[in-house]
Amino acid sequence: MARKNGNTNLTELLLECMAQPDPMLSMLEWLCKQLMEAEVTETIGAEKNERNANRTSYRCGYRVRRLDTRMGTMYLMVPKLRSGGYIPFFVTERKRSEAALIQVVQEAFIQGVSTRKMEKLAQSLGIETLSRSQVSEMTKGLNEQVDAFRSRSLEGTRYPVIWADALYEKVRYGGRVVSMAILIVCGVDEHGQREVLAIEPMLEESRESYKQLFESLKERGLKPPFLAISDAHSGLVAAIRESFPGVSWQRCKVHFMRNILAHVTHKEKQTFAGKLKQIWLAPDETTAKKRANALAEEYEKRFPKAIATLKDGLEDSLAFFSFPKLDSRKISSTNMLERLNKEIRRRTRVVGVFPNPDSYLRLVTTYLMEYAEDWSVSRAYISPQSMEALLQNAA
């Protein structure tokens, strides 16, 4: 009897799939769902809604995950666990960036860059043969995705807060190895969700090159933000203020503290740093300035350069106090981008020297595309209520 019921259910499923625009894709989607549920059950040691004293975790809703297959694109509802992450065994995490990394190896191999090293790396990635046609075919698909992501329209969405920071790697350019920068701009929309807005390569950091980047963002539909966060690079700061008149600029407190501590002796650095941090942990701007003045009085004679640096940049490092509704920990520094850059370097470190600027840009962009997908289904970086209050006050 059980077998008969199973056959009946399968028949109904097949008929339902046949009614879909793509029956094979629908059946594959159903199969993936069953496989995920079975794998999660085995992982936590309990069925859905089952009471079991030996279970190791609990189900905690679902997240959307895009999966590109030869039959087409599916959007899977991947189960989430209360403790510990879960990735389906049939989903290759970071699939695009892995493909981009393989292309870097292939292009370097073809162009004769560090052949022995690249051959060893290729073998570790499972690449047995490298051909020009294979490189061309793989590159074509990724290049289209990269170009579409970097040039997509930003119309219709407001980004009240943006972060800007540069990532540096060694790239072979014009017959020599140079240090190339890629400027990354991220923002949070009116719902507090993070998004990568720009990924732009630069051979030199200048006001003009930064201004061209921000002007291109405006052409794509970016409205002037209320707050821009970056380090104190003079060209970057000038471009922000020139491209977005009236914007508040927050000098990254982490970079600022490093600049100050560079003028403090190693013996007293830890004590000085502990007192210095208290400035940005103050409950309001007035208290922060009082703490800064007290620190200056205590150390001005011993570390005059450190105190002079503090006084010169203090106002710009306290701009976040003008946005009391927003989480000060997240808008007072570029830590969000620093963490992102750190993850990217984990991938780029194995390459060493990139064979050309295109391969560098492709790998970084594809990695950021995957991060953007994860951000779109994760919790808001800044609470939606805070963003709503900010927009209402501005109106």
- When the pLDDT of each residue in the chain is averaged and rounded to a whole number, the result is 82
State residue 109's pLDDT score. Answer: 42
The string of pLDDT tens digits covering residues 20-45 is 777 777 888 888 888 888 888 888 88
Of all residues in the chain, the percent with pLDDT exceeding 90 is: 41
Is it the case that residue 2 has pLDDT exceeding 50?
Answer: no
Band (pLDDT 50/70/90 cuts) for residue 87 is confident
Q: SS in 3 state form for the chain?
A: CHHHHHHHHHHHHHHHHHCCCCHHHHHHHHHHHHHHHHHHHHHHCCCCCCCCCCCCCCEEEEEEEEEEECCEEEEEEEEEECCCCCCCCCCCCCHHHHHHHHHHHHHHHHCCCCHHHHHHHHHHCCCCCCCHHHHHHHHHHHHHHHHHHHCCCCCCCCCCEEEEEEEEEEEEECCEEEEEEEEEEEEECCCCCEEEEEEEEECCCCHHHHHHHHHHHHHCCCCCCCEEEECCCHHHHHHHHHHCCCCEEEECHHHHHHHHHCCCCHHHHHHHHHHHHHHHCCCCHHHHHHHHHHHHHHHCCCCHHHHHHHHHHHHHHCHHHHCCCCCHHHHCCCHHHHHHHHHHHHHHCCCCEECCHHHHHHHHHHHHHHHHHHHHCCCCCCCHHHHHHHHHHHC
pTM: 0.69
